[in-house]
Structure 1
Amino acid sequence: MDTCTLGDLLDLVGGTSVRLHTAPAGLTAPVTQALLHDAHAPLPRVPGALLLAVGVRAAAAGPLVRVAAEAGMTGLVVRGPDGPTAEAQNYGVALLSIAEDIAWHQAHLLLASAIGARPVPSTGGQGDLFALADAIAAATGGATAVEDPRRRILAYSTVPGQPVDEVRRQGILGLQVPAAAENSDEYRTLFAADGPVRLPALRDSELPRLAVAVRAAGETLGSVWVVDDGTLAADAEDTLVQGASTAALLLLRARAAQELARHQSSDLLRRVLEGTADASAGRLGMEGPVRVAAFALEAAGLPDAEQTGLRLLDVVRLQCEARYGRHACVLVDGVVYALLPAPGVRHKRLAEDIVARAGQALRVPVRAGLGEVVAGLAEVAGSRTDADLVLRVLGPSLPVATVEEVRARVTLLRLAEVLGDQRELSAGSWRRVLAYDGEHGTDHARTLVCWFDAGCDMARAAALLAVHPNTCRYRLKQVRRHLGIDLDDPDERLVLWLQLRVLAGLGPTVAAG
């Protein structure tokens, strides 16, 4: 986009993370950049800028509206919903807000990325890097490659006639520099240097290299390498320094674009999980049957739970990307949700692997629940509900499960919620049984549950209770006589059993113990 407008910005990042409260000048107002407010420095005059109210409570940001207006700025960004809307309308300044859980530096990166965003080539955003590699190769006279810090080849020159060696060929074929101890020594030398470095050939079959590190604000972003056959231009080093500077800008722009794309994908996935997304959900790149997997930390009250949750998101994202070549993962209220494409036969194995890796890396137990496989994105909210319910019935002995494997537990959990919320469903003879036990010191409630669990078989019920069958028979007779419960009525037995199980919490584990 040539000139970013307020409307363009909201199209990119508007939603749950960035909200518009008022726009007196309309959505066509230009947005030029995002500025962080510094209370200890004078505010520069930057027409069209968005001022981020760092360190100022939303309710107290009224004075900043006037300052922003006097500086010709388009808008003010506050944290939280209680911003100075009236002041913004009076001064003709747009008022936006970010969510409470977004750090200011993240908001700044997000907004700056959106403001400076522009369409990227189909090569994955590296088209300009290939053009740069060709330009450096033509100017220096040597085949050129641009790498990231992990020695992955991001772009390479295609100028005809320039000599290359086998290492160059293998690297381009695999888009990865071949691993070797000698290579590691060269990279250490390169990244320790302040400028271009000439590196001798490591083997007779190889050619020397001229290389330079690519840096921005002290951070190493990668490196640029030129094959040196002895005929490089006299100013090759100067050309390489200039090329590295341009590469830094391109790599930073690509990073910003990736961050923006990740935010858009996460925001869209949130809406898909909530069931509020429209047909544009197809931008997630998934068609056909899918399933939601939910991952959560078992330890409650972690002092750095938010940071640990973000690390869990990284683990899940990395594993999903390695398995499927793409990912659709998001962190919502401490739970990491991943959208897994069908077929689902390997989903549980993937979840088990993620739980094991995450638990080891984070040193915190992790559990995972998998919802039902659904026909498409329109039904994902239901699979998410399944996954959330599965998480609630998991524990140390069962850290991973699909909803199909724990359907009975999930059903009883939901029944407990439904019965407990409705007076007419939570009333009944089960209360009389518990009250009688409390007053007389009897054990009729547990006896009834064991008898029901045993299929009304007296001998099996007695075994569960570790008593003589006559004792069990006597207790049931007392229930009939003193509580007036008709145990011969199958409906009465069914309702009493459900209420004792889900409302009184007398499950099979309690009954067996």
Structure 2
Amino acid sequence: MDAFTLGDLLDVVGASVRLHTSPAGLTDPVTEVLLYDAHAPLPRVPGALLLAVGVPAAAAGPLMRTAAEAGLTGIVVRGPDGPTAEAEAYGVALLSVAADTAWHRAHLLLASAIGARPVSPAGGHGDLFALADAIAAATGGAVLVEDPRRRILAYSTVPDQPVDENRRQGILGLQVPDSPENSEDYRALFAADGPLWLPALRGDWLPRLAVAVRAGGETLGSVWVVDDGTLAADARETLAQGASTAALLLLRARAAQELARHQYSDLLRRLLDGTADAVTAADRLGVEGPVRVAAFVLDVAGLPDAEQTGLRLLDVVRLQCEARYGRHACVPVDGVVYALLPAAGEHAGGRHKRLAEDIVARAGQSLRVPVRAGLGEVVAGLGEAAMSRADADLVLRVLGPALPVATIEEVRPRVTLLRLTEVLGERRELSAGAWRRVLAYDDEHGTDHARTLACWFDAGCDMTGAAKLLAVHPNTCRYRLKQVREQLGVNLDDPDERLVLWLQLRTLAGVGGTG
């Protein structure tokens, strides 16, 4: 296996660690992570990274020379103001984590990255297959390695192994067949302290020797050996040792998957805020062609356990998206769960909207709180994902109990008025005009000119239609409009004046003809 380098490390941890300088480049090996102890000499560990615990970033300059003499690859400080000049002078890489990052979390992140190279979230269990073959060769029986859900992670491929139909069916589906007898065996296995011999469940099946795989009291899975009566005399001892190795490999695979997911999520966040390179993102996310961003949010304020419920919402969204699209890109950002949906062949948003409606229904049932979902516009590729995300955010703002799910196309008028309201309200010259005189006159004289104007506009400037909306006689409507012309000086014959007045009444005053 090639040496793990500083460049590899940065690829894994993403934006969680910032590189300030690396005088020797990114090919220097990184072997382990050390914690600085001011009361103990710095050990000589070539290739190690030193976490400057207890040393302010600006005061870490003297550590650079010591680190260089010890053969360290670099020093990690907390905060942005590290001694870059000293690092370059002594040829030591300078990295930093955020000022509010706990040192134990930084150590866990970096140590896990070094000890577990990133793999795809789908997993990678080559070492487990090698272990299965080694156990099979030593014990004389075919071997399976499973996770706690009875999914088969690896199996031995040694020639002439004794097998039965139960093993064959399991390997074909990568899942142990479900049966009451199997369930009883698993209960007994996970209650045992060591390897357990289990008799054949059926006449044409073979017995098993099995052991639970544990680490720190947590059950990580199990290892099974088919027993045709010719197992080695020390098969139990071999299996117990194999379980210890399997625990290390499963922990390593879990760490690699978590790191890969962390890297995956960080890339997606940067893609959604427009700071990621689209070509690199497409390659690493495995997404090509048109896409759409869907946004999901809890439709409740002041939820006591909002953070935990939000994580559960993320699980629901990820599960449903992966069921339809396989490995999928979902990420939480500021309380909103975003999903990147492939849009090749998508017409009018029907498929995506049905998915969003299904997620909202399932999430509402399982979380017992209402959920909203907004879908942005379909864009040509990942380079425009930030625009689709902005659309989805706007859709969320116009949704409500009567309309919990919508695409941007379905609520375009509402979204346009929302944005116009914000733009008009931010600019003095756009918020000035006759609408203020109309409202002031209504307040002073108890009239209803603003609503009369809104109804008239909504009725296409038809007096009968406006009167019907107002539930008054058309002559009443005519009189009010005459008052607007004569008392307030509004030229209702000018189409531009009508358009601006209508927009300002609708957006800034919130007055609509239909209520």
Residue of structure 1 equivalent to 2:301? 300
The verdict on how the C-alpha distance between 1:93 and 1:170 changes in structure 2, with shifts beyond 3 A counting, is same
Tell me how far 1:64 sits from its aligned partner: 6.9
Cα distance in structure 2, aligned partners of 1:43 and 1:358: 55
Tell me how far 1:325 sits from its aligned partner: 0.9
1:467-492 deviation line (CA, Å, top 9, x unaligned): 33332222111111111111122221
The verdict on how the C-alpha distance between 1:86 and 1:456 changes in structure 2, with shifts beyond 3 A counting, is same
1:391 aligns with 2:390: no
1:297-328 deviation line (CA, Å, top 9, x unaligned): 22234444333333322221121111111101
Residue of structure 1 equivalent to 2:337? 336
Tell me how far 1:122 sits from its aligned partner: 13
The verdict on how the C-alpha distance between 1:370 and 1:102 changes in structure 2, with shifts beyond 3 A counting, is farther
Tell me how far 1:51 sits from its aligned partner: 4.6
Matches within 5 A, 1:316-465: 316-342=317-343, 343-344=345-346, 345-465=350-470
Matches within 5 A, 1:164-243: 164-243=163-242
Cα distance in structure 2, aligned partners of 1:34 and 1:386: 43
Cα distance in structure 2, aligned partners of 1:364 and 1:87: 54
> Identical aligned pairs, as a percentage?
80
The verdict on how the C-alpha distance between 1:120 and 1:440 changes in structure 2, with shifts beyond 3 A counting, is closer
Cα distance in structure 2, aligned partners of 1:349 and 1:38: 57
3-state SS of paired residue (1:346): helix
Cα distance in structure 1, aligned partners of 2:232 and 2:266: 50
3-state SS of paired residue (2:487): helix
Q: Which amino acid aligns with 2:178?
A: A
Cα distance in structure 2, aligned partners of 1:347 and 1:506: 34
Tell me how far 1:92 sits from its aligned partner: 7.1
Tell me how far 1:96 sits from its aligned partner: 3.1
3-state SS of paired residue (2:402): coil
2:123–2:253 Cα contact (<8 Å) kept: no
Tell me how far 1:154 sits from its aligned partner: 0.7
The verdict on how the C-alpha distance between 1:368 and 1:68 changes in structure 2, with shifts beyond 3 A counting, is farther
The verdict on how the C-alpha distance between 1:487 and 1:120 changes in structure 2, with shifts beyond 3 A counting, is closer
2:360–2:373 Cα contact (<8 Å) kept: yes
3-state SS of paired residue (2:502): helix
Tell me how far 1:294 sits from its aligned partner: 0.9
2:30–2:49 Cα contact (<8 Å) kept: yes
Long gaps (5+) in structure 2: none
Q: Which amino acid aligns with 2:384?
A: E
Residue of structure 2 equivalent to 1:282? 282
1:35–1:50 Cα contact (<8 Å) kept: yes
Q: Which amino acid aligns with 2:6?
A: L
TM-score, normalising length: structure 1: 0.89
1:74–1:94 Cα contact (<8 Å) kept: yes
1:82-106 deviation line (CA, Å, top 9, x unaligned): 6676887788765433357877665
1:227-258 deviation line (CA, Å, top 9, x unaligned): 11111110111111121122122212222221
Cα distance in structure 2, aligned partners of 1:125 and 1:302: 39
Residue of structure 1 equivalent to 2:131? 132
Tell me how far 1:118 sits from its aligned partner: 3.9
3-state SS of paired residue (1:275): coil
RMSD: 3.0
The verdict on how the C-alpha distance between 1:267 and 1:120 changes in structure 2, with shifts beyond 3 A counting, is closer
Cα distance in structure 2, aligned partners of 1:445 and 1:82: 58
Long gaps (5+) in structure 1: none
Residue of structure 1 equivalent to 2:9? 9
Cα distance in structure 1, aligned partners of 2:445 and 2:491: 21
Matches within 5 A, 1:245-256: 245-256=244-255
Cα distance in structure 2, aligned partners of 1:453 and 1:123: 55
Tell me how far 1:339 sits from its aligned partner: 0.6
3-state SS of paired residue (2:293): strand
1:31–1:50 Cα contact (<8 Å) kept: yes
The verdict on how the C-alpha distance between 1:64 and 1:299 changes in structure 2, with shifts beyond 3 A counting, is farther
For this pair of structures, how many residues does the alignment match? 505
1:62–1:84 Cα contact (<8 Å) kept: yes
The verdict on how the C-alpha distance between 1:122 and 1:219 changes in structure 2, with shifts beyond 3 A counting, is closer
Cα distance in structure 2, aligned partners of 1:121 and 1:350: 25
> Larger deviation: 88-97 or 286-295?
88-97
